[in-house]
Structure 1
């Protein structure tokens, strides 16, 4: 009896190609389980320093049916969910919500300019606000990092609550104290 017959089978029973495919699958499985590589979270690093940070976000021209109800809803919320660069970053505490006035520059006969409330009726459905969020963040040499994303002035973040979801760029970052 020949070891390899005319159809490429070992001892007339096992195909060499099938045997090769099975051996490759076994080597891949062994590589995955025996040598998994580096894994784990980059957030839970040994020696990382965490501090309390406050992040100011500016919302301009948000169109909403009842602006005051939204403002009160955000003010009474304890936390909001935060999405940074399309990646969920957990939740941050709502520290303060401040409504900003909508004004227009009005020139005066003497040449001066005075800021007056904007009289356009469509602005009754528009709100500008400054939202201050607080929480713990890892502080690196390059600035605060929340859930693996750097947070700096200009970083667009998305705020999400029970009845809202909108974008707000970061306009201020303060590192307060060690957590």
Structure 2
């Protein structure tokens, strides 16, 4: 009896193609269940999570009652953030500091002094620095909050009950 007949069957009963297909299926099943590797985990899940603080600057925010908004931000203690048009969760408001609106005024002797802005419309404009706190995943390329990288210059949209405005990151600190 021949091992391989004229039709490509082993011992006249089993086709070589069927045997090859069965071997491929067996290897795939072995690869999936016996040697799973890291294919089921994301790379983000493997990085460490640390508390961070992010300083953001808000320039020229138009608001009817700037002091009322400052009080509200300090009392609420949390705000929702949106980074690159993607909701990134909620963070703590650690501190809010108002920045004075000043102008460089030349003096008769040629020097320059920084004096308060006398324009009435500037009473409805607020500059401030806010410190936001939360947890971030630390990667080789920086902090990731809500799936979005946070670096100096990143625009963060702050959203609350009755406000929605943009700010720019000026510092990122890990604790």
TM-score tier by shorter-chain length is: 0.7 to 0.9
The 2-side partners of 1:84 and 1:42 are apart by: 20
The 1-side partners of 2:48 and 2:71 are apart by: 35
Instruction: Point out 4+ residue stretches in structure 1 off by more than 6 angstroms.
Output: 38-41
Q: Is 2:102 the partner of 1:103?
A: yes
Q: CA deviation at 1:115?
A: 0.1
Name the counterpart of 2:13.
Answer: none
The 2-side partners of 1:41 and 1:156 are apart by: 26
Q: How does 1:122-141 map to 2 (within 5 A)?
A: 122-141=121-140
The 1-side partners of 2:143 and 2:166 are apart by: 20
The 2-side partners of 1:88 and 1:139 are apart by: 19
Q: How does 1:30-179 map to 2 (within 5 A)?
A: 43=44, 45=45, 47-176=46-175
Q: Is the 8 A contact 1:42 1:148 kept in 2?
A: no
Unaligned runs of 5+ in 1: 1-37
Q: Secondary structure at the match of 1:92?
A: strand
Change in Cα spacing, 1:149 to 1:113, as seen in structure 2 (3 Å) is: same
Q: CA deviation at 1:51?
A: 0.9
Q: CA deviation at 1:39?
A: 7.0
Structure number with larger C-alpha Rg: 2
Q: Secondary structure at the match of 2:89?
A: strand
Normalising by structure 1, what TM-score?
Answer: 0.73
Q: CA deviation at 1:75?
A: 1.0
Number of residue equivalences: 137
Name the counterpart of 2:7.
Answer: none
Q: CA deviation at 1:41?
A: 6.3
The 2-side partners of 1:104 and 1:156 are apart by: 26
